[in-house]
C-alpha cells in the first residue's frame, strides 16, 4: 500500500480484520496521517462534521468540536493505527520511486528510498491532496524572504510583525488568513477567483455530549446517521438539480453583505459563478479579517515577484517579507502517476495524457493488473465525508483480494470496454451537475476539460456499486499466489 493516510490505514485495518498479514504500508513521512500529518498551518481544521469524519469501525466519542482541528484528526489517525497494530506492517520514511508490473512473474516491483519490494497486489493510497501545486510566477525563485506552501508550513519562520503575502483564496487560505492576521504587520491576500463562503456552524461539545457518545448505547451512531443524511440531501442540488443552489448563493451573499460593509470591497469578494461550481467554503472569520486596516485584498494578477516585493499587473509594488502559497494541490496530475508503470511499460501519467483520467469505479485501471487506487478519479464529494467513499473502496478492494486468494488467480485486470462504458456514463451524469454548468474553471477538471474528480450523485450510490467485486468486468489469469 502506497500511503499511510486515512485510505491506507483503512485498507490496512481491513486486511488485519480479514486475517491477511502479508501486506506493507509504505509512507514517505515519519508517521502516518497523510494530508493531516502534512497540513499543520495555523487554523487548519476539517470542513466535514467531526462525527462523520471518522471510520465506521472506530468512532471517536472524544471530539472536542463539531468541526475538528488538525491536531485532533492526526491524533485520531495515529490512535487507530496503534489500536489495530498497523505499526509492525509500516515502513515509514519510505518514498516510492517507481512501481512496475512484471508480466512474466505477475508481480509489482516497487523501488523505494529504502530498498526494493515485490508485491502481488499494489494499492495506491497516496490520495488526491498530497502533492502541493506551486505557482509558476516570474521571479519567484529570486525572492529573498521565506517562501512556503500551506501544506509545507515553515514553523521556524516567525511571521509576527512581518509583511506577509498569501497567494490563493481556497480552502486553506480562508483558514490561514484570519489565523495569522492578528500577528502580522501587513497582510496582502492575492485573489484570482472569489470563493463562495458559507457560515461555519462550529461549536465546542459539552462534557455531557462527549459522555453520552461514549456511554449511551447507539447515541453516537444515531447522531452520525442524522448528520450523514442531512449532508447527503445536498447532492440533490449539487449533482441533480443545480438550480436548487440558488438559495445557497443568496445565503452566501447575505453573509457577505452583513460581514463586509464596504460596497467596493464586497463587490471584489463576490464570486461571478454559481455557488457550488467550486468548493463551498465554511468560515465565520475570513470576511471580518478584511475589515482590519493592515489586511488588503488584491485582485489584480501577479506580474512578477522581486527580491523583496510582489508586483501586480497594474504596476503596484508591495513590499513583503514572506510568501505563503495557498495554491492547492496537483489533483488531476499527481506526480505519482508518472511512477506507476503498467503491463505495456507506459506510466499511468502517460495513459491519462492519452485518454484522460479514466478509471473503473474510481479503483481499477485497464493495463494495470492487480492494482487498485483508493480516492481515485471521480470519487470526490462536495457534500459528504470522503471516509465513507474510502470505506466503500476498501470493501471493493477486499473483495478483489479475496477473489485472487480464493481462486489462486495470477492477475485481475479491468476490461478496457468496462472502464470506457463506466467513464462515459459518469461524464454524461456530470454534464448536468453544478460543477460542469456553474460557469467556473476549477481543479475538478483535468487537462482535457473533463471532470475526473467528483462523484456525480449520492455517496450511497457509490457504496452500492462497490459492495461486491464484480469479477465479470475483469480479465482473469490463473495460477497465482495461494
Q: What is the mean pLDDT of residues 297-318?
A: 96
Q: Residue 226: exposed, middle, or buried by beta-carbon count in 10 A (0-12, 13-18, 19+)? A: exposed
Poorest-confidence range of 37-46, 299-308, 312-321, 329-338? 329-338
* Nearest CA among 117, 109, 105 for reference residue 481: 105
CA 423-427-432 angle, to 5 degrees, is 155
Q: How far apart are CA 376 and CA 272, in angstroms?
A: 30
The CA distance from 461 to 447, in Å, is: 27
Yes or no: say if 477 and 409 are a contact pair by the CB < 8 Å rule: yes
Nearest alpha-carbon partner for 409 in 342, 344, 474:
474
**What mean pLDDT do residues 338-346 have?**
96
pLDDT tens digits, one per residue of 157-205:
999 999 999 999 999 999 999 999 999 999 999 999 999 999 999 999 9
Model confidence at 482: pLDDT above 70 = no
Burial of residue 222, with CB atoms counted within 10 A of its CB: 0-12 exposed, 13-18 middle, 19 or more buried: exposed
Of 307, 287, 308, nearest to 297 by C-alpha is: 287
* 219-230 average pLDDT score: 96
pLDDT in tens, 119-167: 999 999 998 888 888 899 999 999 999 999 999 999 999 999 999 999 9
Question: Is 84 strand, coil or helix?
Answer: coil
Which cell is 181 given?
492576521
SS3 132: strand
- β pairing state of 281-282 and 90-92: unpaired
What gap in Å lies between CA 461 and CA 206, rounded to an integer?
35
Measure the CA–CA gap between 409 and 479, rounded to whole angstroms: 5
Reading the block at residue 463, the C-alpha cell is 457504496
Whether the pLDDT of residue 371 is over 80: the answer is yes
Contact 27, 94 (CB under 8 A): yes
Mean per-residue pLDDT for 301-308?
96
Contact 174, 286 (CB under 8 A): yes
Mean pLDDT across the stretch 20-36?
Answer: 95
* Whole-number Å distance between alpha carbons of 339 and 106: 18
> Which residue do the cell numbers 481515485 mark?
376
DSSP state of 237: I
CA–CA distances in Å: residue 253 to residues 168, 236, 314, 319: 21, 21, 28, 32
Tally of CB atoms within 10 A around 230:
13
Amino acid at each position: 500500500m502506497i500511503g499511510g493516510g486515512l485510505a491506507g490505514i483503512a485498507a490496512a485495518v481491513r486486511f488485519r480484520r480479514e486475517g491477511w498479514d502479508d501486506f506493507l504500508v509504505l509512507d514517505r513521512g515519519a508517521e502516518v496521517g497523510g494530508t493531516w500529518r502534512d497540513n499543520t498551518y495555523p487554523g487548519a481544521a476539517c470542513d466535514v462534521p467531526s462525527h462523520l469524519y471518522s471510520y465506521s469501525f472506530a468512532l471517536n466519542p472524544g471530539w472536542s468540536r463539531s468541526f475538528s482541528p488538525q491536531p485532533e484528526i492526526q491524533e485520531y489517525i495515529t490512535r487507530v493505527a496503534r489500536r489495530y497494530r498497523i505499526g509492525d506492517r509500516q515502513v515509514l520514511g519510505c518514498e516510492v520511486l517507481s512501481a512496475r508490473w512484471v508480466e512474466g512473474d505477475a508481480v509489482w516491483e516497487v523501488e523505494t528510498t529504502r530498498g526494493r519490494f515485490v508485491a502481488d497486489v499494489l494499492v495506491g493510497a497516496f490520495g488526491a491532496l498530497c502533492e502541493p501545486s506551486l505557482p509558476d510566477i516570474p521571479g519567484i525563485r529570486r525572492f529573498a524572504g521565506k517562501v512556503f506552501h500551506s501544506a509545507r508550513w515553515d514553523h521556524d519562520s516567525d511571521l509576527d510583525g512581518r509583511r506577509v503575502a498569501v497567494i490563493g483564496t481556497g480552502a486553506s487560505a480562508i483558514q490561514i488568513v484570519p489565523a495569522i492576521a492578528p500577528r502580522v504587520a501587513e497582510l496582502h491576500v492575492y485573489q484570482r477567483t472569489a470563493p463562495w463562503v458559507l457560515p461555519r456552524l462550529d461549536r465546542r461539545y459539552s462534557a455531557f455530549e462527549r459522555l453520552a457518545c461514549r456511554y449511551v448505547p447507539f447515541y453516537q451512531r444515531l447522531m452520525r446517521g442524522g448528520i450523514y443524511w442531512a449532508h447527503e440531501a445536498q447532492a440533490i442540488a449539487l449533482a441533480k438539480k443545480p438550480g436548487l443552489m440558488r438559495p445557497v448563493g443568496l445565503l452566501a451573499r447575505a453573509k457577505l453583505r452583513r460581514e463586509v460593509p464596504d460596497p467596493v470591497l464586497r463587490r471584489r469578494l463576490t464570486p461571478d459563478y454559481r455557488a457550488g461550481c467550486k468548493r463551498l467554503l465554511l468560515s465565520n472569520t475570513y470576511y471580518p479579517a478584511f475589515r482590519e486596516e493592515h489586511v488588503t485584498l488584491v485582485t489584480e494578477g501577479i506580474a512578477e515577484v522581486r527580491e523583496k516585493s510582489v508586483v501586480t499587473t497594474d504596476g503596484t509594488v508591495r513590499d513583503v517579507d514572506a510568501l505563503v502559497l495557498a495554491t492547492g494541490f496537483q489533483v488531476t496530475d499527481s506526480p505519482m502517476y508518472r511512477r506507476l508503470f503498467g503491463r505495456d511499460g507506459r506510466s499511468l501519467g502517460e495513459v491519462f495524457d492519452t485518454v484522460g483520467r479514466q478509471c473503473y469505479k474510481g479503483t481499477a485501471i485497464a493495463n494495470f493488473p492487480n492494482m487498485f487506487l483508493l480516492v481515485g478519479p471521480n470519487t470526490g464529494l462536495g457534500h459528504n465525508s470522503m471516509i465513507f467513499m474510502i470505506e466503500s473502496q476498501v470493501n471493493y478492494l477486499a473483495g478483489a483480494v479475496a477473489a485472487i486468494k480464493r481462486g489462486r488467480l495470477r492477475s485481475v485486470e479491468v476490461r478496457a470496454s468496462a472502464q470506457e462504458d463506466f467513464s462515459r456514463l459518469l461524464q454524461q451524469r456530470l454534464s448536468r451537475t453544478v460543477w460542469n454548468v456553474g460557469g467556473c474553471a476549477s481543479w475538478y477538471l483535468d487537462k482535457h476539460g473533463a471532470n475526473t474528480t467528483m462523484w456525480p450523485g449520492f455517496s450511497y450510490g457509490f457504496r452500492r456499486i462497490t459492495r461486491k467485486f464484480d469479477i465479470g468486468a475483469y480479465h482473469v489469469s490463473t495460477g497465482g499466489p495461494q
